[in-house]
């Protein structure tokens, strides 16, 4: 290949890497493709890309040319300073190994089939300031295959790749952190729901049963006859017990709505709206798909609290409950009314308590809460839930998700 052709080939390699980084976030996929590009450009036989694990003080194979080597991503580790790649990571210098069998730095790793290759070029992935974030290795079956121009060009490629690797690792850490936060939120909400279920069970098995028993005793007492005033008192007490029993049953349903578990959030909100016992007209517009269970529970509780505030304070004739899902997965829940409105910054009493509860639940699932209202102009509670993180096997792209500074 002539020099101009070689320059064009390396320029094409850089362009391919940059374009790939804008299309793909999965670090393993990026590095596998980069390894393919490097082999195609250099004429080498295999390429390995190692990422540095800061805490473990190791380099981890995270990308390689296809089978069988790409299947080893995440499983091959070397200590900083161990082997040629470890030496490069430690000293932040490229290494040209003309015959690796005579180089004391070389460490044989059976899974990488080193016996099939004789020479190698190893260059550090350097960030500005000299921080090493990885090592790029290319191997050839030919001895003394790599030249000084190859070192310079591959070092330039490695430095471009360093920024991509660092960003991908940071993205990976962010995804994992979001996943961890989602798990904590789910556990917290589940603990809250367990408490509610326990309270509901206690009301059902304790208070409700005693109310029913007292009601039957009063019925028996009334059957015995007596003075009209006594019978009137018994009737009044029966009515009070019946009301208390109805309230207990309503509390049990509110504490743990079975429909939410069985049919999901849309059905749960529909049931909630129909159970309010209000003269206000309630309009529902629910277009959201399935959400994680803890998010659905949080949105149900937010709706429950918001609607209780509306019933207690708003004096509304019309209430709208809307939920839409955008193309990017963002879900927006809106509960609005045409009531008397209020000043959100001056809310007191049960309304302020309810708003705090709504804010806490929204924060727990990473949602944004907006309260729109002013006296005489109705109110709206708007909860925007960001797309929920989904962490699958292919997303676990870095065993540690950490970078190591310059050795």
The per-residue pLDDT for range 109-118, each reduced to its tens digit, is 988 988 899 9
pLDDT beneath 50, residues of the chain: 391-407
pLDDT confidence of residue 158: 87
pLDDT confidence of residue 263: 78
pLDDT confidence of residue 317: 92
pLDDT confidence of residue 124: 93
Residues linked to residue 334 through DSSP beta bridges, in sequence order: 322, 382
Statement: the pTM of the whole predicted model exceeds 0.85: no
pLDDT digits (tens, 9 = 90+) for 375-385: 999 999 999 99
Tell me the C-alpha distance between 91 and 407, whole Å: 7
Query: Hunting for tokens 């959400």 — which residue is that?
Result: 291
Tell me the C-alpha distance between 363 and 359, whole Å: 6
Q: Cβ distance 51 to 134 under 8 Å?
A: yes
pLDDT confidence of residue 123: 92
| Number of other CB atoms surrounding residue 388 within 10 Å | 17
């Amino acid at each position: 290949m002539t020099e101009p052709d070689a320059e064009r080939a390396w320029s094409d390699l850089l362009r391919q890497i940059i374009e790939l980084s804008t299309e793909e976030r999965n670090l393993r996929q990026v590095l596998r493709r980069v390894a393919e590009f490097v082999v195609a450009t250099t004429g080498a036989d295999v390429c390995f890309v190692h990422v540095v694990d800061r805490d473990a003080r190791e380099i981890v194979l995270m990308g390689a040319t296809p089978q069988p080597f790409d299947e080893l991503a995440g499983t091959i580790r070397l200590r900083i300073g161990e082997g040629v790649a470890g030496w490069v990571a430690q000293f932040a210098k490229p290494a040209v190994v003309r015959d690796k069998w005579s180089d004391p730095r070389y460490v044989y790793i059976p899974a990488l089939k080193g016996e099939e290759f004789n020479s190698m070029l190893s260059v550090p992935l350097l960030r500005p300031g000299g921080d090493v974030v990885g090592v790029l290795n290319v191997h050839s079956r030919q001895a003394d295959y790599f030249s000084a121009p190859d070192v310079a060009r591959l070092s330039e490629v490695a430095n471009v790749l360093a920024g991509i690797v660092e960003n991908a690792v940071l993205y990976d850490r962010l995804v994992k952190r979001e996943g961890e936060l989602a798990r904590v939120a789910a556990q917290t909400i589940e603990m809250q729901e367990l408490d509610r279920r326990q309270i509901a069970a206690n009301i059902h098995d304790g208070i409700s049963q005693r109310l029913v028993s007292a009601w039957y005793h009063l019925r028996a007492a009334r059957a015995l006859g007596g003075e009209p005033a006594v019978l009137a008192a018994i009737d009044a007490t029966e009515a009070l017990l019946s009301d208390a029993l109805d309230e207990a049953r309503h509390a049990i349903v509110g504490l743990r709505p079975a429909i939410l578990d069985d049919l999901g959030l849309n059905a749960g909100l529909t049931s909630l709206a129909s159970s309010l016992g209000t003269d206000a007209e309630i309009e529902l517009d629910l277009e959201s798909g399935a959400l994680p269970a803890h998010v659905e529970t949080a949105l149900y509780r937010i709706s429950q609290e918001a609607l209780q505030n509306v019933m207690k304070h708003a004096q509304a004739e019309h209430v709208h409950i809307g939920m839409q899902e955008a193309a990017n997965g963002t879900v927006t829940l809106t509960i609005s009314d045409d009531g008397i409105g209020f000043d959100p910054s001056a809310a007191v009493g049960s309304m302020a308590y309810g708003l705090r509860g709504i804010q806490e639940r929204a924060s727990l699932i990473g949602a944004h809460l907006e309260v729109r209202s002013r006296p005489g102009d109705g109110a709206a509670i708007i909860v925007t839930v960001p797309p929920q993180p989904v962490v699958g096997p292919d997303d676990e792209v870095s065993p540690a998700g950490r970078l190591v500074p310059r050795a």
